[in-house]
Amino acid sequence: MKFEIRDLNSQGQGVTVDADGKVCFVNGALPGEKVSAKLLQSKRNYSVYDMITALSPSPNRTKPACVHFGDCGGCDLQHLSYAAQLQYKTDLVRNAFLKIAKINLNDFDYRITASKSEFSYRNKLQMPYRKDKKGRNRLGMYRKNSHHFVPIDKCLIHNSVGEEILKWIADKAKLKAFNEKTGRGLLRNIQIRAVPGSKTFLLILVVTELTHAVQILAGKLFKQFPKLESIYANINSDRKNRIFSDSFHLLKGKKTIAGQHSGIDIEVGPSTFLQVNDAGASELYEYAIELAELSKDQSAADLYCGIGILSCRIAQKAKSCIGFELNNESIEAAKVIASNNQVDNIEFVASDVFEYFSLVGRSESTLFLDPPRKGCSPEIIEKLCSNKQYERLIYISCDPGTLARDLDLLCRGGEFHLHSVHSFDLFPQTTHVETVLRLDRAPSS
């Protein structure tokens, strides 16, 4: 089949229609291109194709830097120039806001901040350890929207030193690779994390049992790589797809590694959540702080606060801050971080975010929201709108669609109005984009 590509969807697929008016998604195609493609899947309302050849390539098309692009599921946009990637991401946000919230971002000074690095920006990489078609133990990734294992020699968006450690494991580990069909094997997955501000690493070996061979491998790695300061085993014998169990065992080195993020001293353990792009996340946090225009005579709340890095920065600028997070382990880490940084005008609560709104006697006028991809619940939106105490909202989102939905709900009744919007590219070569917006309470009539 031959198509002329009209657009690029949120999954990075070219979009067009066939002769019958049926929507077609074409993997690997770019807007403006004429392509030949082969059918992969035909559904009632749409079809999916793989591009064979770009008959008239887009001027924005570029040669992918990675030999695994198109096969591995890690990147979506390596065939698109970086300038065009930024334009694509701003268009995603603009279209979502216009379609869902009926807000035209041409009326705002809307921009995107590029990543400082187009490659080698990820501080963390997770890889399954499996046998390839020749029976060799390999590290790799899964093909997009599938469980098909693709052996990977090198990941270009990952930290280069971390790549050296992974390559050594792939070449020399010699542990029996896990077989998902039989449930047999020893080594399932590997996660390597660069600790921000420290130039050191934490490694997790996900194994079905803690054997002497695993202990020996940890010892060899610890000796081979001085920058590897912590090695953990995660014991996971479950046949399900969950990567980690709750069972972590320190094999070598420190329980946590000291680092720094956004000017805040932190401790990183095996289950600590951090954004994968350190420089980009720091820029985003500083922008959010500046956008809030905090002062020492006002208090703020950080809902969905994680380990409290942004919360501590808020407290440094405000009279006080309270952080809410459902995960108790994150809250305990947040308390340690606040103490280590001598931030004493802050408190943390391990609870569902909705419970914040049941507290009495609170004085927070500015709320920071950084919910998961699904956005805020209708109940939280209702509380934000109905309580006149909340004068300013700083909303951080990784999903333009749910952000636009919540923006529409917050502004629909006239309770809030949009002050400003800005996006950050924390994930070059992928379709993901982070967006920060500020909402101000509308004046009482």
- Which residues are known catalytic residues? 398
Determine the Cα–Cα distance for residues 291 and 189; give it in Å rounded to an integer.
40
Block residue for tokens 């603009």: 94
Cα torsion through 263, 268, 271, 274, rounded to 10: 20
Other Cβ atoms within 10 Å of 291 Cβ, number? 17
* Separation of alpha carbons 205 and 246, rounded Å: 13
Residue 228: which residues within 8 A CB-CB, separation 6 or more?
A: 165, 200, 201, 202, 203, 221, 222, 252, 253
Q: Measure the CA–CA gap between 426 and 411, rounded to whole angstroms.
A: 27
CA 219 to chain centre: 31
Q: How far is CA 345 from CA 23, 255, 320, 360, 366, in A?
A: 55, 28, 5, 18, 15
Rounded to whole angstroms, the maximal C-alpha distance in the chain is 73
Q: Name residue, tokens 């329980």.
A: 255
User: Cβ–Cβ contacts within 10 Å for residue 206, how many?
Assistant: 22
Q: Alpha-carbon distance 185 to 172, whole Å?
A: 16
Amino acid, single-letter form, for residue 129: Y
